Amino acid sequence: MAASHSNITVLTSSQAIINGTITPGTIVTDSTTGKITQVHEKVLPPSAFPAGTVYRDYSPKVLMPGLVDAHVHLNEPGWRTEWEGFETGTRAAAFGGVTTVVDMPLNAIPPTTTVENLHLKVAAARGQCWVDVGFYGGVIPGNEKDLKDLVSEGVRGFKCFLIDSGVEEFPAVSTEDVAKAMEELKDQDTVLMFHAEKLPPLSMSVGDAVLHGDAPLAPTGPLDEYLTFLASRPPAFETYALADIIASAPIAPNLPLHIVHLSAIQCLPMLKEAQEKGIKLTAETCFHYLALAAEDIKNGDTRHKCCPPIRERANADGLWDALKDGLITTVVSDHSPCTPNLKVVGGGDFFQAWGGISTVGLGLSVLWTEGKKRGVDLCQISKWTSEETARQVGLLGQKGKIAVGYDADICIFDPESSFKVTTSEMHFKNKITPYEAKVLDGIVCETWLRGKQIYSKDTGFDETAGPLGSLLLEKRQQETVPIATTLSAPVAIEEIKAVNLNAVVSTVEIQQS
Ligand SMILES: [Zn+2]
């Protein structure tokens, strides 16, 4: 009876990213539960399924897990909603095969530093999100008693700044504030993340008050020269911050610590040493630190301003090596837009311009374009942008992999095509990005969220269905794989057993990690 199987959709291709390799693959999804119910490492024909089953063969395009962008600023609610909002930011994500974004606690007003404020953000997000959205909480001076309640309300982790954040309602924390936050969070299932730039010891002589000041270092050259800006945010800011974090780590030895947007390669030996000592410390870097280089940034082109800054090409080389070695585990967008006037577009003053780069939805193509020149394959890229980012935010088991029991979040990617970035490829609110007019390799053809197609290159967004994204507010769980739902398609029993066996094996492995 076809009707009893009408909730089954089958996606297949000669190329799919399953268990960390590219293989022929068939994915059976249940649109009622939104879950993946079967995964086969072969192309099964339509005849393997009941009549009436939706069956799509995408060969030779690549079926890959939807990306989990663990670092975006959507800026809503409050007046900075003119910079970005849930509707536009998540639409941009869906365009780029991103099926989950995690929103940073600052730039919206109020910032996500209390449960009350989180509730305001959640209310603003409801009904607007094209992809699933999780939320981080913020650590600011004096809010340590709010942190456990935020954990209970489902924040995916916490972010704090060790240097001026650029917005007054989200002040930097001192070493003492970090210690208080660690005490509160030390037995919680969460992650504490750091914007790891800090003024080095020379400035320590004036105490923590300096953290709340303006530009960390006065410019020593023309304000429109990129190298003047670069020199004002030296690698020493990052290494000093990292040393401080590592020194604090023993306060909460079981609490995962994470460096957001690591830029300077001088941090890498410190990170390695800390990890070897057993400190639970991870790091992410961003698409722009890997794909862009200071040497190429024209003076006055403030679209490239972000903090920490985009450094020299040799620095990018080192970041790629660290990814390949597994020292850095994730790549995120740090999508942080603003309006053209605040970005000083055309004005050229790097010190006046807002620091932040718009990338959400372009990252996969950006990384593929640069990565394939460096011998990187799509499996590695998928690991850095889906599996490991899902792990970082406590969603592995639900997101980030094509596996039985996972959400059917699928990106259909054509690595052989390319496109030029114009405003029609920028779905974020303000059409400003350093990738404008660049040609990127690899096109996202379709994006599926929990078993439903939400975007197609050919037909656009499903405006009739509207935004189908859920807000991810369940408390973080220990990593487990959900129990596979009942298999309902007539596949050979041997295959079904094989699939279930694999699922059981991976459950055991994950629970041990
Ligand atoms: Zn950020």
Q: Where are the domains of the chain?
A: 2-64+414-512, 66-402
The per-residue pLDDT for 9 is 97
The per-residue pLDDT for 149 is 98
> What is the 18 CA–ligand 1 centroid distance (Å)?
30
Residue 67, phi then psi, degrees to nearest 5: -75, 150
Nearest to 76 by CA among 61, 87, 68, 65: 87
DSSP codes joined into one string, 129-169: -SSEEEE-EE--TT-GGGHHHHHHTT---EEEESS--SSTT
Which tokens belong to 423?
């405003």
> What is the 152 CA–ligand 1 centroid distance (Å)?
23
* Spatial CB neighbours of 259, under 8 Å, sequence gap ≥ 6: 193, 194, 196, 242, 245, 267, 271, 281, 282, 283, 284
Yes or no: say if 359 and 332 are a contact pair by the CB < 8 Å rule. Answer: no
Per residue, what are the HEC states of 412-426?
A: EEEEEEEEECCHHHC
Distances (CA, A) of 387 to 274, 330, 394: 23, 9, 11
> What is the 355 CA–ligand 1 centroid distance (Å)?
9
C-alpha 413 chain-centroid distance: 18
Yes or no: say if 475 and 151 are a contact pair by the CB < 8 Å rule. Answer: yes
Encode pLDDT of 79-138 as tens digits.
999 999 999 999 999 999 999 999 999 999 999 999 999 999 999 999 999 999 999 999
Number of Cβ atoms within 10 Å of the Cβ of 326: 11
Which tokens belong to 199?
């003024």
| CA torsion through residues 504, 505, 509, 512, sign | positive
Number of Cβ atoms within 10 Å of the Cβ of 381: 24
**Which SS3 state, helix, strand or coil, does residue 397 take?**
coil
Exposure letters 434-470 (e unless 16+ CB within 10 A, then b): bbeebebbbbbbbbbbbbebbbeeeeebbeeeebbbb
> What is the 356 CA–ligand 1 centroid distance (Å)?
8
Distances (CA, A) of 315 to 123, 265, 290, 432, 446: 41, 6, 9, 25, 34
> What is the 31 CA–ligand 1 centroid distance (Å)?
34
> What is the 57 CA–ligand 1 centroid distance (Å)?
38
> What is the 104 CA–ligand 1 centroid distance (Å)?
7
> What is the 334 CA–ligand 1 centroid distance (Å)?
5
pTM: 0.90
Percent of the chain with pLDDT over 70: 89
Which tokens belong to 252?
């909460």
What is the maximum span of the chain, computed from C-alpha positions, in angstroms? 77
> What is the 359 CA–ligand 1 centroid distance (Å)?
12
Tokens 């009876």 locate to: 1
Say if strands 62-65 and 410-420 run parallel, antiparallel, or are unpaired: antiparallel
The per-residue pLDDT for 346 is 84
| Fold entry, domain 2-64+414-512 | Urease, subunit C; domain 1 (2.30.40)
> What is the 360 CA–ligand 1 centroid distance (Å)?
12
The per-residue pLDDT for 314 is 98
Encode pLDDT of 321-353 as tens digits.
999 999 999 999 999 999 988 988 888 999 998
What DSSP character marks residue 189?
Answer: S
The per-residue pLDDT for 345 is 87
Q: Which CATH entry fits the domain spanning 66-402: 3.10.450.50, 3.10.20.440, 3.20.20.140, 3.30.1360.30?
A: 3.20.20.140
CA gap 96, 361 in Å, rounded: 4
Encode pLDDT of 1-24 as tens digits.
444 457 899 999 999 999 999 999
**Which SS3 state, helix, strand or coil, does residue 323 take?**
helix
Instruction: Show the low-confidence residues of the chain (pLDDT under 70).
Output: 1-5, 201-217, 478-513
* Cis amide linkage into residue 490, ω under 30° from 0: no
Number of Cβ atoms within 10 Å of the Cβ of 29: 27
Crossing angle for the helix pair 235-248 and 175-185, to the nearest 10 degrees: 40
